[in-house]
Every structure is written in structure tokens, then in C-alpha cells.
Amino acid sequence: MTESPTPRRLILLRHAEAVSPDMGCFSQEADMARRLTPDGEKAAVRCGFWLQSHALTPDIVLCSPAQRTRQTLAGLQSGLSPATIPTVQLCPEIYEAEPSALAAAVRQVPQQARTVLLVGHNPGISDFARWLDSHNHQLDMGFAPASVAVFTMIGSDLVPDQTSWANCDNMSLNLHTFTRP
């Protein structure tokens, strides 16, 4: 009996709750340096435990270089089994990105990766999720901090050799799960 391959999955994670920006200091450097709140740190760990409990360990992570996204990723990794820590790529193009830039980043993922985690910011993450599956009304609620959207690539479990991250678009992925662990 042949085991069916794991479908390709794209996991979108908005960073956990961050401290508010300092009043009057709206520079990109100040925004990039914003840290998670204590509640945000706990939420990031919960996200890792949730991914682990749902067998959604990423093969590769695309992460914005902002402090709050890197802290979210660190918290998430503490909730994963140490044997399953994925390859991480810090991607400046994810910071304040439009859906087209996020799709372009995903299209660069190596073919062998089955599960990809993208850790980013709103409104880009929320807009990207709605672009990928515009018919799913769960996404109309918005993307609160530490929200997770899991998409599956259509047909990737049936014809894995004919699906590719290079073809990531709004016709190739469907929302499977949307939650805030």
C-alpha cells in the first residue's frame, strides 16, 4: 500500500501582539524595532504548539526581518519539537508587502518543500490570504495578531510532481484552516 504524499501547504502567520509605536516616532527603523508584548510572546508559543499538534511543521520559513516577526518565530519554534526546526529565511521584501510581493516570495521556495510558513504583517498578510481564497468568508473577519491561515495546494496530494510553489496564485490554493490559537 502506497502512502499518499503530504499536500503542499502554505501557512500564513501574522506576528503576535506588539507594543504600540512611540508617539511621534514613525520611522521605519522604529517600526522595525517594535517588540512583542508579554501576551504576544505567549501567543507565539501557542502558535508553535498548535502547529505541532496539527502536524503542520514547516520545511521552510519566510520571515520579515522586523523584531516582532522574528520574536513571533522564536516563540513559535519553542513550541515545536527540537528535531523539527525548519530552515529560516529572513526576507526584507515581506515587510509592508503587497499580496503580489508575498506571492513572489512564495514562488521562490525550493520545490522539495511541502509546508511553507510565511510570518508577516498586516495588512499584507490579510490581503494575501483574501487574494488566495476570496470566496472563503472566514477571512472577512480580518487577521488579528497571532492568527494562522493554512492553505492547501490544489491537487498536490494527487499529482505531487506536477504542482509547484512557482505556480502559487489565487487559483492554486484553498483555505483549509483559519484560527487564532
Q: Is 70 annotated as a binding residue?
A: no
Q: Which residues lie closer than 8 Å to 94 by C-beta, 6 or more apart? A: 62, 63, 64, 69, 101, 102, 105, 118, 119, 120, 121, 124
CB 163 within 8 A of CB 8: yes
DSSP-derived 3-state class of residue 16: coil
**First vs last Cα of the chain: how many Å apart?**
35
Annotated binding site for substrate: 68
Annotated binding site: 68
